[in-house]
Structure 1
């Protein structure tokens, strides 16, 4: 069987949005995903999908009504506090950016794509220009494939496809989020729910932050943002799964001067996971087009979280699908050049905004963030 025109590397929201849009436009493709099956890696937090970007992509994909059945419109509110628990602003109610769990969004997209169009258990290890100047893909399971007219790297922060264009790699920001949970069975669940409520609650102080966000099942996910070295957990004897050890570290080294409200979150949090924050540089944007390849989402423009990540990724997919449909699979070079010329300014913008947000979110106090919200 001949290879389809398009190979999509990565089965996250970015790659699956592109796949669904190509499906709607009658353009043949295959998705290659490292997870073993659609039931693997059912994790990730809550995502706010914006009306003018992410929802637009879902509308074009014919999935907006289905999305609205899953979306949580009462979780758009945002509360900002200081480290002593003083509430400074409560806003965002009614904003057209409803929340949906990442796993739900992924499943919604998967259900809209023929199962035979996804190859599970395919971890890309190398992408090169092979025989006849056609893309060649090597996977960790030993499979080597070629014959595609275009390979789209939607393979995230540590994209293997990116190396075709540049040797740029993400740089550590100096900050790490320790993700954790407060489940409904937690003894402080009711207190957490009454204080955090629906939506997202952010507390900033002493160069650290705490984000508490309600999930689709009613539980709360916490992110304890702390300044540590990139190799802090790799080079120490600390076991990240050792809950009491992590709690003691946070309470003694980082949040000793925070209110009991936040310290209790630490004392009762479970399932800790380290999430170091990385970003590409604006200097990494604007690469020279390479025939047969392009990038989308975090693979193209990884940034510090600034509320735009998944929305920008889905916008990339929407724009690229339009260009492919406009020019056809016999003129993909033109489609890619026009897509990339449109994408680079968005990429520079989100990377710049992410770096600015880092300074605001990890400030000594929340005043700069308060001014941003008030403005």
Structure 2
């Protein structure tokens, strides 16, 4: 007998859903593309918000475990211009959104579900239908599986489940982040500790950005925000494996040559460069006819450009879907999905539009002043609505 629910993807979203179903006594299985639970995919630091991500963790019975790793001291947020001059500072504790490394959050969730309920090394190739109209999952390792009452696509921006539900596809935003690290062994590390310290520093100017964020192990993750063609990396414009040539490219007049020396020093000492192309699902596609036996959560449903809400929106999806399934039971699962999707569509449109607005502000010609003005408007609106 197959479990009632198949979850495609073992990231924070899929695992949050799995844990919530576990607590509610609803049978499920998770199929994850990684070969093991120690695949090396680490990711950055995530801020978990009280009204979404934290709420899901509380419902999952994992909030106390989360608090063991939550870094409230890293809620410090500063904005600087391209000269390195600080123009905005938000103190620790200004918002209930502590940081946690993605790998730590994922491990908390993994440890909370039976190991027998997650199948590693299962890369989904596609979803097909048998002669009776039942969904069949076909994996690249030759395995196929069927008999589920619901297949949930939690398989990220390039979801293979999505194609069986909607024609919507991610659209390139025009922007990239180039990620790198300053580790404790780096010769610049002591300077980073003294000049950056805890939390996040966002430096804006010339329609570009450098974002510096402290991680749980004390290292600093660096994001170079640039507007480049979609094939900037794949097309060979830069070979990120060649560390020195990559540094020189981003120190050139095309990118950060006119920035402050202290900020260019970060590029000069950065290591382990990797690309992050920023995509989003067009918000006008956030409505589709319900497909019996299929649904989407997290980035698979509504990938957005960064706005600080991504994992929180995904965990809210997981909580909403699990609650609806528990309410109606697996015998009326299609009704649960219909109500979940109605709720999700509204949340998704707001999330995607917020990401697009944030992206425009981060690359605005007015640099840091545009971001400060944006934050003030958001704060005022939140105060008025409360």
Do the two structures share a fold, i.e. TM-score over 0.5?
A: yes
Counterparts of 2:131 and 2:63, CA distance in 1? 41
1:172-215 C-alpha deviation (Å, 9 max, x unpaired)? 11111000000111111121122221111001100100100000
> 1:284 Cα deviation (Å)?
1.5
Q: SS in structure 2 opposite 1:238?
A: coil
Counterparts of 1:51 and 1:258, CA distance in 2? 36
The correspondence of residues 226-375 of structure 1 with structure 2, limited to 5 A, is 226-236=226-236, 238-252=238-252, 253-364=254-365, 365-375=367-377
Counterparts of 1:3 and 1:104, CA distance in 2? 30
Counterparts of 2:130 and 2:97, CA distance in 1? 43
Q: Is 1:10 aligned to residue 12 of structure 2?
A: no
Mark the runs of 5 or more structure 2 residues left unpaired by the alignment.
378-386
The correspondence of residues 107-122 of structure 1 with structure 2, limited to 5 A, is 107-122=107-122
Match of 1:208 in 2: 208
Q: Which moved more, 1:34-43 or 1:297-306?
A: 34-43
Match of 2:380 in 1: none
Q: Which moved more, 1:52-61 or 1:237-246?
A: 237-246
Match of 1:150 in 2: 150
> 1:127 Cα deviation (Å)?
1.0
> 1:140 Cα deviation (Å)?
0.3
Match of 1:136 in 2: 136
TM-score (norm 2): 0.95
Size of the aligned set, in residue pairs, is 374
Counterparts of 1:300 and 1:92, CA distance in 2? 34
1:133-160 C-alpha deviation (Å, 9 max, x unpaired)? 2221100001111100000000000000
> 1:41 Cα deviation (Å)?
3.0
Q: Which moved more, 1:34-43 or 1:267-276?
A: 34-43
The correspondence of residues 154-233 of structure 1 with structure 2, limited to 5 A, is 154-233=154-233
Q: SS in structure 2 opposite 1:157?
A: coil
> 1:318 Cα deviation (Å)?
0.2
1:276-335 C-alpha deviation (Å, 9 max, x unpaired)? 111110122101110000000000000001000000000000000000000000000100
Match of 2:51 in 1: 52
Counterparts of 2:242 and 2:173, CA distance in 1? 25
1:32-55 C-alpha deviation (Å, 9 max, x unpaired)? 000001011341000000011100
CA contact 1:5–1:148 (8 Å) conserved in 2: yes
CA contact 1:35–1:41 (8 Å) conserved in 2: no
Q: SS in structure 2 opposite 1:337?
A: helix
Mark the runs of 5 or more structure 1 residues left unpaired by the alignment.
none
Q: CA RMSD in A?
A: 0.9
Counterparts of 1:7 and 1:205, CA distance in 2? 46
Q: Which moved more, 1:37-46 or 1:272-281?
A: 37-46
Q: SS in structure 1 opposite 2:316?
A: helix
CA contact 1:75–1:99 (8 Å) conserved in 2: yes
